[in-house]
Amino acid sequence: MNILVFTQPALLWGLTAASLPLIIHLINRHRARRQPFAAIDFLLKVQRRSARRILLRHILLLASRTMLIMAIVIAAAGPFLRPQAALTTVDPTTTILIIDQSLSMRARLEDSTVFKAAIERARDFVHSLAPGDKACLLAAGLSNEVLVQPCTDSHRTLLDAIDTIKPQWGSSDLIAAFKRAMTARPAEEKTKGSSARILLLTDAAAHAFGSSSGLSIGRSPPEIVLENLSNEAGRDNLAVSRVEQRSQARYLEVSARLTSFSTQTKNNLLTEVRLDQKLLSRGFVDLPAGGSVKKVFNIQWPSQTDVLRVVTPKHDSLEEDNQRLFHVSGRRLVSALLINGDMRPVLHQDELFYLEHALAPAGISASGINFTTITPDRFNEDALDNAEVVFLANVHDLAPEAVSALRSFVSVGGGLFISMGNRIDVDRTNRFLDDLLPWQLRDVIASGPADPDGVHRQGIGFAEVDSQHPVFSLFEEKQLEALKSVRTTKAVVLEPGQAGRQSRILLEYANGTPALVESTHGNGRILLFTSSLDRDWTSWPARASFLPFLQRATSYLAGRLGQLSPVEVVVGASVRIPLASEADGLQVTKPDGTKQRLEANDHYSSEQGLTNTVSFSDTRVPGWYGIEQTNNGKKLPIKTIPGIIVHPPALESNLAPITQEELQAKVGRHARLTLAGLHDAANKPQTLLFLLLGLCLVLVEAVLIRK
């Protein structure tokens, strides 16, 4: 048996307007005062003969107008039929009411959402509790929280608890919620075999029922009633499922993956890249039904580090997954200072001719490197004001105060590149650079076999390359192989056993001697190239690999290649964030702007020993969580992960409902399962029926008026 229920029961107050026709009739009935008039007595005698027929027509007219108003009000209240068995039982019943809080419950349902429909249905259920009925309340979201226990018959307690439930941004495991509801049943209900049931209000999305199956139902299994509050129209959804980015010379390439969970193809779908409300790029794509497509955008580099988003403004069922955040490191120009140790009037013979063309082959805007060139005698502390990287190219000597300034520059995080040349004096260089050298120099030697005239023209190539190092990590296999064809005719050999403690060989010659060595000094990085940056000692400046090598080396020395990416997790996940040695905690700025202070509370073992960490788990809302390392509450200028991007769970975008067979397998073959979804034949909306009834009443009224 089915009964009529409403999605908007509050509108039923409008039924009071059905009394208006009767009130108007009564008012008109007493409006005129009777005045005897002998001339119409004869006409009154004739009228009495048809009075009953006229009275019947007036009654029918009054009834049709009254019913017309009632039909319109009921249609506006959203009527639909629901099986009575799913709502009431004959005996007093204990019901564990479960309300799904998952992200998919935010899906649109006509002019509301599925979650709001669930709340209204829950309130209707509470009002329908018969004397002796009791209910518990459980909210199924990231955790299955029991809000009302023990079960109660207090309407006020249940309604107040229902009003506290809000939709979440994560997933829910409804099978786990069923298991939690089983434990919430009163003990007497389990032992006495009293009538009990679990009522689940959900959108019945298949992903919410997890991978677990088989409930422990015991000897007195409760009836499981699942009410599907969604409909097929509410399953039409698409999502921005992935965003990738790749750095190009003059722009940033952003690739967005759009996925359809709809049965209809979306043509000319607008997709945009935005920074807050600023539009950076837009385009149109055709998204096939049930498929996916990649859209590529080319945008200008942001001037500073920021969080961008790819957004599809189309209004589908679930708008919350129509955007995806991604983090972009601002493209600030690298400032380099080039110290030319062998300046010559002929350009192509100048020590820095190839270096300058490698750093900015098509201008500063293309490479992102801005440089200034000076001679060693003009180098002083003031010249380092805006520099991030310093190149010492074939520099014979520096004044002590200049070396002191350079040492301070590197120790606070500056980068230093040292190259050799024919003006290098090994002993002098060891003396004035001292601890800035990654490896003490020994001698300048010719490389490779000598020609008959005694001149070394053939040289030797490179051999071993540390391809995992950031400077060479982007080199393809062909590029690494091409390094072997570079010929070096002269180089500085390093003193055996005199390598710095932090030294690391990145590139070797074919004879096994180091070609490129890295070390650190304080917070700065140093690269030593044992040959020249012009063609006096090596053919490398004339090879294609020279340009990307120097640009990567410059960015690496400036600390740009070592920038960490943000951690990306889904809603509800925990994150463990490493602390710098100088920090005692973190400050996290949440998407709503609130700040949370976190202290070190954990540690893990790493190659450097034990490292303090902070655990952060308050990721219930998607968005950007900025991170700052702090000491005594003060922000530290330390390069670490810039923040956390929290994404909605990908599974929540698929709103496809679970089938009855799949659900029965999930809850167990022995569980008593009742489905009462709006998609069932007995639960279709009856709005159209009442509108048709109203139309028929209008026609009846028109016929009655004409007679």
Lowest mean pLDDT among 156-170, 358-372, 378-392, 473-487: 358-372
- Asked whether the beta carbons of 253 and 298 are under 8 A apart, the reply is yes
CATH class of the 238-329 domain in this structure: mainly beta
Confidence band, pLDDT 50/70/90 cuts, at residue 442: very high
pLDDT band at residue 85 using 50, 70 and 90 as cut-offs: very low
If you average pLDDT over residues 648-666, what whole number do you get?
Answer: 90
Residue 394 in tokens: 């074939």
How far apart CA 460 and CA 510 sit, in angstroms, is 6
Contact predicate 136/122, CB 8 Å: no
- The pair of three-digit structure tokens given for residue 15, joined into one six-digit string: 């039924």
CB neighbour class for 91 (10 Å; exposed up to 12, middle 13-18, buried from 19)? exposed
Which tens digits make up the pLDDT trace of 154-170? 999 999 999 999 999 99
Q: Could you report the per-residue pLDDT of 443-474, keeping only the tens digit for each? A: 999 988 888 877 878 899 999 999 989 899 88
Measured CA angle at 92 (ends 214, 80), to 5 deg: 75
Q: Kindly state the DSSP code that residue 685 receives in the 8-state scheme.
A: B
CA distance 118 to 227: 9
Please check the confidence at residue 637 and state whether its pLDDT lies above 50. yes
Give the CATH superfamily of 334-557.
Answer: Class I glutamine amidotransferase (GATase) domain (3.40.50.880)
- In this prediction, residue 212 carries a pLDDT of 59
Query: Residue 632 in 3-state DSSP?
Result: coil
Query: What residue ranges in 410-489 does DSSP mark as E strands?
Result: 415-419, 439-446, 462-465
Residue 680's pLDDT is what? Answer: 45
Cα 275 to Cα 306: distance, rounded to the nearest angstrom: 8
pLDDT at 584: 83
Could you count the other beta carbons within 10 Å of the beta carbon of residue 673? 16
pLDDT at residue 28, as a whole number: 67
Give the mean model confidence (pLDDT) for residues 412-441.
94
CB within 8 A of 5, min separation 6: which ones?
A: 79, 80, 81, 82, 87, 124
The better pLDDT of the pair 203, 128 is held by: 203
Find the mean pLDDT for residues 656-682.
Answer: 74
Q: Which of 68-82, 380-394, 670-684 has the lowest mean pLDDT?
A: 670-684
The answer, yes or no, to whether residue 32 has pLDDT greater than 70, is no
Distances from the Cα of 561 to the Cα of 230, 497, 566, 636, angstroms: 49, 30, 14, 20
Give the pLDDT mean for 85-94: 60
The pLDDT of residue 405: 94
Most confident segment among 300-304, 446-450, 598-602: 446-450
CA-angle at 345, arms to 339 and 347, nearest 5°: 75
| CA R_g for the chain | 40
Give the pLDDT band of residue 535 (cuts 50, 70, 90): very high
Domain 568-647, second-level architecture? Sandwich (2.60)
What is the SS3 assignment for 312?
Answer: coil
The lowest-confidence range among 387-401, 585-599, 618-632, 680-694 is 680-694
Residue 173 has a pLDDT of 92
Between CA 439 and CA 127 the distance in angstroms is 83
In the chain, the percentage of residues whose pLDDT exceeds 90 is 47
User: Which of 174-188, 208-222, 509-523 has the least mean pLDDT?
Assistant: 208-222
Q: How far apart are CA 537 and CA 462, in angstroms?
A: 14
Q: Is 123 left (phi over 0), alpha (psi -120 to 50) or beta?
A: alpha
The predicted pLDDT at position 54 comes to: 72
Tell me the pLDDT of the chain averaged across its residues. Answer: 84
Listed range (39-48, 436-445, 590-599) with the worst mean pLDDT? 39-48
Four-residue CA torsion sign, 567, 573, 579, 585: positive
Model pLDDT, residue 410: 93
Give the pLDDT band of residue 36 (cuts 50, 70, 90): low
At 624, list the tokens: 């950007």
Contact, 493 vs 445, CB < 8 A?
yes
Report which of 429, 421, 441 is spatially closest to residue 489, judged by C-alpha positions: 421
As a whole number of angstroms, the distance between CA 337 and CA 392 comes to 9
Mean pLDDT of 662-680: 72
- Residues counted in the chain: 707
* CA distance linking residue 399 with residue 385, whole number of Å: 18
Q: What pTM was estimated for this model as a whole?
A: 0.65
Q: Which residues contact 315 (CB under 8 A, 6 or more apart)?
A: 108
pLDDT at 579: 82
What pLDDT does 120 receive?
A: 93
Q: Which residue has the higher pLDDT, 83 or 562?
A: 562
What angle separates helix 51-76 from helix 687-706, to the nearest 10 degrees?
Answer: 160
Is 359 in contact with 388 (CB distance < 8 Å)?
Answer: no
Best mean pLDDT range from 10-24, 225-239, 628-642 = 225-239
Lowest-confidence pick of 23-37, 531-545, 638-652: 23-37
The β-bridge partners of 538 are: 488
Mean pLDDT is lowest, of 70-79, 602-611, 666-675, for: 602-611
H or E element at residue 44? helix 41-48
CATH number of 80-234+654-685: 3.40.50.410
269-298 confidence digits (pLDDT tens): 999 999 988 999 999 999 999 999 999 999
SS3 category, 674: strand
Q: What residues does each domain of the chain span?
A: 2-30+40-78+689-706, 80-234+654-685, 238-329, 334-557, 568-647
Residue 193 pLDDT more than 70? no
Q: Do 12 and 69 form a contact (C-beta atoms < 8 A)? A: no
* Predicted local confidence at residue 673, as pLDDT: 78
Q: How confident is the model at residue 305 (pLDDT cuts 50, 70, 90)?
A: confident
The SS3 of residue 390 is strand
Ordered DSSP codes for 233-253? GGG--EEEEEEEEEE-SSSEE
Query: What's the average model confidence in pLDDT over 509-513?
Result: 92
Beta strand pairing call for 415-419 and 524-529: parallel
Token pair for 139: 């909210």
Same fold, 80-234+654-685 and 334-557: yes
